[in-house]
Amino acid sequence: MPELPEVESLRLLLNLAVAGRVIDRVEIREPRLRRLIDLQLSKALSGRSIRGIERRAKYLLFDLGEVVLLIHLGMSGSLTHRKAPRAFSDAEPAGGGHDSIAARLDPRHDHVRFVLDDSSELVYNDPRRFGLIKLLPRAEANAADELKELGPDALDEKFNEAYLTVKARGRRVAIKNLLMDQRVVAGLGNIYAAEALFRAGVRPGRRAAGLKRSEICRIVGATADLLKDAIGAGGTSFRNYLDARGRPGRFSSRLMVYGRAGERCYVCSTLIRTRVLGQRSSFYCPRCQE
């Protein structure tokens, strides 16, 4: 699932590509995502200008004036900006397409198309259909079920040593699971929680309550540095993630532990280990992480 760096990288590119453009119409080919898309979406959005795009955790929020379009990519979603339009067709072969982006994405999974006033398109593609597209009144956006319980963003100054110390106090949960709890800190998932803990030198299975203040300080600092590095590289691509231009993220080659069980640590040459925490595989170096 795309995490904070992937969604932020996507937001930055989309802002450059479509901010100021007007939505001409919305074509819905498959409304059955995580929740059913409102078939009146085109009527509600036609003629609205995209004033800008914000991000909350792993959600994109399109500022359309009185309303906000909320988009979550789910497990396999992508939102790409395409220059040349083409009609939906069930007969199109997988991998075929009108441009380099379409060549990388199976057009059978192009479920929603936002046609803009310059004839370019934002196309939502999602093979597993776990994503979300939802229209909200601006005044009610912060109270939406998806956003109201989110903790501070992992790049927000509110996510600091003092905050994480309070959240860890008395908690028997593993520190990696605490970091992945979106109510505690928003935007981190399995990849970046594992990588941040490696940079901080803390094992993922350590109980949150047992961490020293110095370790919490390292975790907070390592998280911020890691996310900024990942955003600069366009995020990490596993399986389906592509940015707005249809390109994979370039941070995959810089991962130190995630997905490397049985391989040598780049720092100390010890074999990377894995264990299951919260039903997720957690990767770590037994020598570099205490």
Active site residues: 2-3, 58, 280
Please give the Cα distance from 247 to 135 (Å, whole number).
27
Residue type at 139?
A
- Element (DSSP H or E) covering residue 44: helix 41-45
Q: Is the Cβ–Cβ distance between 33 and 126 less than 8 Å?
A: yes
CA angle 29, 66, 42 (to 5 degrees): 20
Q: Is 27 helix (H, G, I), strand (E, B) or coil?
A: strand
**Torsion angle, CA of 27/32/33/35, rounded to 10 degrees?**
110
Please give the Cα distance from 88 to 161 (Å, whole number).
50
Q: How many residues does the chain have?
A: 290
